[in-house]
Chain A
Amino acid sequence: MSFEERNTVVGILISLISWGLMVSVLAARHSAGAFDGADGPMLWARSVLWLILIAIGIGIALTILFNIGYAVVTGERKPLFLKDERDSQIGLLGLQVTLVVISVGIVGAVVALAFGVGVVLALNIVLAACAAGDMAGMLTKMVLYRRGFAL
C-alpha cells in the first residue's frame, strides 16, 4: 500500500470520527436551543470553528499514529513518503467528486433559504454537504486505488 493510499484509508477514519463529533455536538446544542435566538448563526459558527480545530488535531494525531503502526506491523525500516503522478491524478478525481457533492449541497442550502428555512438549518445543509463530499471523494480515491486506476 503506497503512502497516499494509506493516507486515504486513515482519511476515511478521520472523517468518520470528526464528522461524528461535529454531528453529536451540534445536535446536542441544537436540541438545547443554543442556536434559536438572533445570534444563533454566530454561535453556530463559533461552535463549528472550534470543532474544525479539534478535527484537525485528531487528524494529525491519527495520521502519525497510523503511519507508525503501519511501519511497525509491516517492518518497513525506511517508509516511502512518495506522491507520484498517479497519486496526483487519483487525488484530482477524488477532488472533483468532492466538489460536485459540495456544490449540490450549497445549491440545496440556497433553495432551502428561498423556501424560508432558518439560516442555521441552511448552514447545517452546507456542513452536511461538506461531510458527504469529503467522504465521497475519499471513497472514490479508495476505489480507484483498489482498481489500479483505469477509467
Chain B
Amino acid sequence: MKRPRITNTIRRLRFDAGELTQKDLAEAVGVTRQTIMAIENAKYFPSLELAFQIARVFGQPLDQVFQIEDQE
C-alpha cells in the first residue's frame, strides 16, 4: 500500500504570523529548529501531539496546518 503524502502550510502560516522564525516556533512547541525545518520540508512527520501544538501556536484547526493528499 502506497504511503499517503502529508503536506503542511507552516511556512505560509509563519509568514502570515509576521515572519515568525523557525527558532521561535521551535521554542513555542519545545522542539529543535532542525525538527521544524524537517517538518516544513516534509522530511519528518510529527506526532499528533506536536501537530496539535503547532496548530495551536497559529490558532488554526489541525487540517489548516496539515493536509493529507488523496491516494487516488
Contact = CB atoms under 8 A, between A and B. Distances in A.
B38 A87 contact: no
Contact of B43 (A3, A80, A85, A150): A150
B30 interface: yes
B32 A148 contact: no
Interface string A74-93: 00000010101111000000
Contacts of B30: 82, 84
Interface in B31-49: 31-35, 37-38, 41-44, 46-47
A145 B43 CA distance: 10
A2 interface: yes
Given A149-B44, A150-B42, A150-B43, A86 B31 contact: yes
Given A148-B44, A149-B43, A149-B44, A84 B37 contact: no
Nearest to A90: B44
B57 interface: no
Contacts of B46: 85
B20 interface: no
Interface residues of B, number: 15
Given A149-B43, A150-B42, A150-B43, A85 B50 contact: yes
Contacts of B41: 148
Contacts of B32: 2-3, 80, 82, 84, 86-87
Given A85-B46, A85-B47, A85-B50, A148 B31 contact: no
Closest 9 A/B residue pairs (Cβ): A148-B43, A84-B31, A148-B38, A2-B32, A150-B43, A149-B44, A86-B35, A2-B34, A149-B43
13 contacts: A2-B32, A2-B33, A80-B32, A82-B30, A82-B32, A84-B35, A85-B31, A85-B35, A85-B46, A85-B47, A85-B50, A86-B44, A149-B43
